[in-house]
Amino acid sequence: MKTIKYTFWQDGKYYLGYLNDYPDYHTQGLSKQELVDNLKDILKDIESNEIPFIRKVEELVLSE
C-alpha cells in the first residue's frame, strides 16, 4: 500500500487541500472524504501523465 502526504484546511463549508509533493494542484470538497477522493483523482491524472508540465519536489544530496 502506498501513502502520500497531503495538506488540508476548512474554509466555511469547503475542505481545501493539495498533495504535498504537488502543491500547485489544489482541489476542494464539501466533506473531507470528497476532498480525499478528489486528491486521489489528481494523483491518478499526474501519474498517468494526463497533466502536462508537472513540477516536482526532490532533495539534492551534496557531499561536503
pLDDT digits (tens, 9 = 90+) for 9-52: 999 999 999 999 999 999 999 999 999 999 999 999 999 988 88
Confidence of residue 57 (pLDDT cuts 50, 70, 90): confident
pLDDT reading at 56 higher than 90: no
Kindly report whether the global pTM for this prediction surpasses the value 0.75. yes
Confidence of residue 8 (pLDDT cuts 50, 70, 90): very high
- Answer for the pair 55, 19: CB distance below 8 angstroms, yes or no: no
**Dihedral of the CA atoms 23, 28, 29, 32 (nearest 10)?**
30
pLDDT reading at 64 higher than 90: no
How far is CA 27 from its chain centroid? 8
**What grid cell was written down for 59?**
532533495
